[in-house]
Amino acid sequence: MSGLSDQFEQYEREALAAIAAAENADALEAVRIEFLGKKKGRLRDLQNLLGQAEPDQRPVVGKQFNTVKTRVATALEQRQQEVNRPRAELTAIDVTLPGQRVELGRRHPITQTIDEFKDIMGRFGFSVVDGPEIEDEQHNFVALNIPSEHPARDPLDNFYLAAAVTSTGGPVLLRSQTSTVQIRVMEQTSPPVRIVSLGRVYRPDTIDATHSCMFHQMEGLLIDRDVTLAQLKTVLSLFAAAYLGHDVKIRFRPSFFPFTEPSVEVDMLWGNDWLEVGGAGMVDPNVLTSVGYAPDEVTGFAFGLGIERFCMKRHEINDIRRFYENDIRFLRQF
Ligand code: DAH
């Protein structure tokens, strides 16, 4: 029977050598078919030889056959794992790794402030309206009682658009104030009116810690019978307290705006300092007339507040430019 044993040994030696030499899964598969293939192949040949053994030797050679077969199959399996390892490691999920954090986006601090302002003013009965950012002179100036010689109309103080005109050929500009929306609303509605409008305004200011050529305002307008300056002050005081969370003091300083009479500058007491937060006043009769309202029947107040100012105060932000730099380290704090 030594002949068979020799053949087993030779088979095993050659099989193990071929397995070790196979560099990849394809080569290994060829080796498997050659040495372990079920239909034909060298294992099959050996198996056929078993039948030729003497009957009393069969259990012995049968055992040898099985041992050899198992060793070759085991070697093949190990090698399979080895050649597959690099790919397996690339795709494997290591459950002990910390994992990829899901970065949740968040709303910009100015957007958050705008939403909160809308909410507060909504509770006071003001509805929110929108207006266009590209305006004509009628809405940005004329109807607001701003005459053509007024310094606010200086082309150098406004962003006029070179590439567009109104339907009647007049100049258009990026609105310099949200007061434009007062006019648009009154043109469309009859009194009473109680609205706020929040959005961007544009001015070619030199940019520094407190100035930006684009910023946000909240415009407010209330038109009804017998509206008073005292009501204006109450609304603004309640608003400031609602946003800043405590009893904020509001102060009016006499001022001038073409669209209000009387006009005031609105200051807010913050710590020991008075901070200017916007302008306000009683709507000028000329404005009411320009939109077809009867100034002897209705009166109203209007105000325009700088949204960044409030947000900066509340969060102790010392530079308005932070809002527009898109620095994620700044933005993710809100
Ligand atoms: N539009 C003014 C500005 O941008 C602010 C302002 C002042 C708005 C008085 C008003 C107002 O509605 O009544 O400087």
Mean pLDDT (whole number) for 276-290: 97
Task: Quote the pLDDT of residue 90.
Answer: 64
Among protein residues, the one with the nearest Cα to ligand 1's atom 12 is 303
Q: Is the pTM of this model over 0.75?
A: no
Task: Quote the pLDDT of residue 119.
Answer: 98
Q: What are phi and psi of 291, to 5 degrees?
A: -105, 10
Query: What confidence category does residue 2 fall into, taking pLDDT thresholds of 50, 70 and 90?
Result: low
SS3 label, residue 18: helix
Ligand 1 centroid to Cα of residue 256, in Å, is: 10
Query: What confidence category does residue 101 fall into, taking pLDDT thresholds of 50, 70 and 90?
Result: confident
Q: Given the structure tokens 């800043």, which residue do they identify?
A: 244
Ligand 1 centroid to Cα of residue 279, in Å, is: 5
CA 303 to each of CA 91, 158, 222: distance values in angstroms, whole numbers, following the listed order: 62, 21, 9
Q: How wide is the angle at C-alpha 16 spanned by C-alphas 12 and 17, nearest 5°?
A: 120
Among protein residues, the one with the nearest Cα to ligand 1's atom 4 is 177
Decide: 236 in ligand 1 pocket, CB within 6 A.
no
Decide: 257 in ligand 1 pocket, CB within 6 A.
yes
Is residue 273 within 8 Å of residue 297, measured between CB atoms? no
Determine which of 20-29, 173-182, 228-237 has the lowest per-residue pLDDT on average. 20-29
Among protein residues, the one with the nearest Cα to ligand 1's atom 7 is 279
Distance CA 125, CA 163 (A): 40
